[in-house]
Structure 1
């Protein structure tokens, strides 16, 4: 157990039916799904528009990954506003901003470099909007329902990635890239209207004093100074981020295997594994079992990638990648622990810091993987990324194996828990 941890009993296992029975969650989930659809189409369409305007593969690639760097910048400068502003206003405001940007991109009045600059600048607040959305989730769902709500968000992300390449490609072929960009505009407006008129107005958490940038830096330092928070952040960041480096060379791997069209299958396999992991682990495992299996599932992220050292064909490679993607469900075993470890007044910023670290490290890992692919065979790079993820999971084993609760020690305790007496960690500092 980590220092200062109180032995608690696991809450009753929830079901997805119970989660989606909460109307406010359905509203938030639908808005998030619309956001994902719009972002997937935008990335594909912008990449096509930039390539058509410049003929540059580099600029096209930058367009496709244009969300990483702005997110990291917003996460280090503006996260304090995730707690200072009401979450509904933040989400609606960002949806409207995305809609305006989509209109400008769709009508084609800007050259390609200006398009990239516009997407970069307007993407900086994305970290604040994402943090506000994630921090609102535990206000809507309690106990194990919160963990399943996180799993449902993960499944939405995985499902969107599974369908995104195929559907986005069909849309662009049918209505061209500029026409597809109007779909992003529509999804933004639908999401904004849904959140504004169907989601209850939750108050801001207040956050801390000082300017937004100063408060962001101060709270980030405070969160990272907490050993429990820091260890849980590292446990969420490192194993999956190091695994993502392998994705940077999946296209070269498919080309070297003589099946360049198989690259889409490989990316889809990872997303399908993520989708299955969130579904199976979230639905079939009891809360205490999820926490107990967090460490083995984290090892599963990197271990299958070692098989690429044996030069597998695309079918075997897809299976290995799907198993690796399944391992991302280990984060469900950390969800409640992280929520309980951070102060409620800065919960939005804490979730934003977790998301910012994820986006930043995954972007850097993919870039490093691509750079290694210039001097090493793709299979060697993928195996190295798997080994790095495996080593990180082993190094974080103490954090991954600690649990929030143990089984009740007496019949009286068990009866109390069945009556709904779920005890949390004692409040921390600023709670």
Structure 2
């Protein structure tokens, strides 16, 4: 909990005063906005060719699912190698892969292969990026940095989705893909020139395979288990994004509105996160985390009863805001719970599990949208998320309460495994 307690001792201004953080922040926002361009382009392209919500959803899922495989097998590279070096290499590789996707006439099957490759290398990228952020800011400023990063990521998502939807409809999906390739290249250049390389931890154990070591790292501590279980809840919360094309079509709106609907999922986070960081005291965030996990999906239950697209967008914004706040808190807690020599691997696995859960949710939602309707698929996902969050929420409260009590009493604690 100390990682979050430091949030009161640092401000956005102090975090932005760190030059290397500013460079990393800019690089990530560029590539993140470009990613949204590409995702809108791919979904619109596939839906136009197939007129199938299921296939469009599965294609979107390909941009997410393979990430966890990359995290489990390659995240240890971010602990064995310079974390900056891993980020630069992956960004340069992603720029090259997306540039190939721009080639006219490339088949849908090859497009899916390339999208899967992008997702796969995103695993080690996320591992290195989250661990390097902790290196740049330290324990006290890390929660504030994560909050600022989440706010601007949502803002970049809003801009990327809205602009991507417009460009895909007005020009072509290939233009969006070309922009994405450029943002990856610029991100790699910024990281290479503005971030200094840091020494690699010498205490990293090499025993066991990457996969078994990663799973053991997750399962050793019940607090980690709770957080990792919470990452799977993204399977339910991301459904509005995954079938936005189908939902816009169901409501009778033009394809240009797809980007606006996708952007609405991030609007609430941009508004709520600064207020959350300001008003929710650090000592209450331990309890706030499970509450948010249990309530994030509830706004989605009301979507089938919305007669206008804009009222549904308001519900998406509320759900997205609650989700973003839980992501910031869980990442801050997890960074404190992981040892430095395994931080890249642990953070990478958590991030990729979240991404993979989103991919699975989107794929299943596409199938559900064809079985029922897009609006009811969203509502069902929101309803199921509540009981799905119970186990991790109870485990988190139980394990953190035991740990806190032991600290107060000044005695060591042994947590059941």
TM-score (norm: length of structure 2): 0.84
Cα 1:391–1:111, aligned 2, differ >3 Å: closer, same or farther?
A: closer
Q: For 2:50 and 2:251, how far apart are their aligned partners in 1?
A: 25
Q: Which moved more, 1:152-161 or 1:181-190?
A: 181-190
After superposition, give the CA deviation of every residue in 1:223-282 in whole Å (9 maximum; x if it has no partner): 2243221112112332x3322235444444443434455554432221112222323213
Whether 1:268 and 2:266 are equivalent positions in the alignment is no
How far is 1:19 from its partner? 1.1
Whether 1:101 and 2:97 are equivalent positions in the alignment is yes
Counterpart pick for 2:386 among 377, 386, 390: 390
Counterpart pick for 1:230 among 193, 201, 225: 225
Cα 1:104–1:49, aligned 2, differ >3 Å: closer, same or farther?
A: farther
Q: For 2:115 and 2:130, how far apart are their aligned partners in 1?
A: 23
Give the 5 Å matches for 1:75-114.
Answer: 75-108=71-104, 110-114=106-110
Q: For 2:367 and 2:3, how far apart are their aligned partners in 1?
A: 46
Question: Whose Rg is larger?
Answer: 1
How far is 1:219 from its partner? 2.8
Which residue of structure 2 aligns with residue 357 of structure 1?
Answer: 353
Which residue of structure 2 aligns with residue 327 of structure 1?
Answer: 322
Cα 1:78–1:57, aligned 2, differ >3 Å: closer, same or farther?
A: farther
After superposition, give the CA deviation of every residue in 1:348-401 in whole Å (9 maximum; x if it has no partner): 010111012111111112222222233334443322222222223344333454
Cα 1:303–1:181, aligned 2, differ >3 Å: closer, same or farther?
A: closer
Q: For 2:241 and 2:4, how far apart are their aligned partners in 1?
A: 39
User: Is the Cα contact below 8 Å between 2:79 and 2:341 reproduced in 1?
Assistant: yes
Which residue of structure 1 aligns with residue 111 of structure 2?
Answer: 115
How far is 1:347 from its partner? 0.6
Tell me the SS of whatever aligns to 2:92.
helix
Counterpart pick for 1:375 among 371, 378, 397: 371
After superposition, give the CA deviation of every residue in 1:326-350 in whole Å (9 maximum; x if it has no partner): 1110233333321222222111010
After superposition, give the CA deviation of every residue in 1:87-120 in whole Å (9 maximum; x if it has no partner): 1110111111122223323343744422332332
Cα 1:203–1:108, aligned 2, differ >3 Å: closer, same or farther?
A: farther
Q: For 1:427 and 1:199, how far apart are their aligned partners in 2?
A: 39
Whether 1:209 and 2:206 are equivalent positions in the alignment is yes
User: Is the Cα contact below 8 Å between 2:43 and 2:245 reproduced in 1?
Assistant: no
Whether 1:146 and 2:142 are equivalent positions in the alignment is yes
Q: Which moved more, 1:139-148 or 1:370-379?
A: 370-379
Cα 1:174–1:88, aligned 2, differ >3 Å: closer, same or farther?
A: same
Q: For 2:206 and 2:309, how far apart are their aligned partners in 1?
A: 54
Tell me the SS of whatever aligns to 1:334.
helix
Q: Which moved more, 1:274-283 or 1:109-118?
A: 109-118
Which residue of structure 2 aligns with residue 241 of structure 1?
Answer: 235
How far is 1:85 from its partner? 1.3
Let me know the Cα RMSD of the aligned residues. 3.4
How far is 1:426 from its partner? 8.8
Cα 1:85–1:264, aligned 2, differ >3 Å: closer, same or farther?
A: same
Give the 5 Å matches for 1:29-108.
Answer: 29-46=25-42, 55-57=49-51, 62-108=58-104
User: Is the Cα contact below 8 Å between 1:15 and 1:283 reproduced in 2?
Assistant: no
How far is 1:26 from its partner? 0.6
Q: For 1:379 and 1:102, how far apart are their aligned partners in 2?
A: 32
Which residue of structure 2 aligns with residue 417 of structure 1?
Answer: none
Whether 1:313 and 2:275 are equivalent positions in the alignment is no
User: Is the Cα contact below 8 Å between 1:246 and 1:385 reproduced in 2?
Assistant: no
Cα 1:314–1:72, aligned 2, differ >3 Å: closer, same or farther?
A: same
How far is 1:170 from its partner? 4.0
User: Is the Cα contact below 8 Å between 2:267 and 2:317 reproduced in 1?
Assistant: yes
After superposition, give the CA deviation of every residue in 1:281-329 in whole Å (9 maximum; x if it has no partner): 1344332243342233333312222323545532322222211111110
Count residues in correspondence. Answer: 404
Gaps of 5+ in 1: 410-422
Gaps of 5+ in 2: none
Whether 1:181 and 2:171 are equivalent positions in the alignment is no
Q: For 1:168 and 1:22, how far apart are their aligned partners in 2?
A: 31
Which residue of structure 1 aligns with residue 19 of structure 2?
Answer: 23
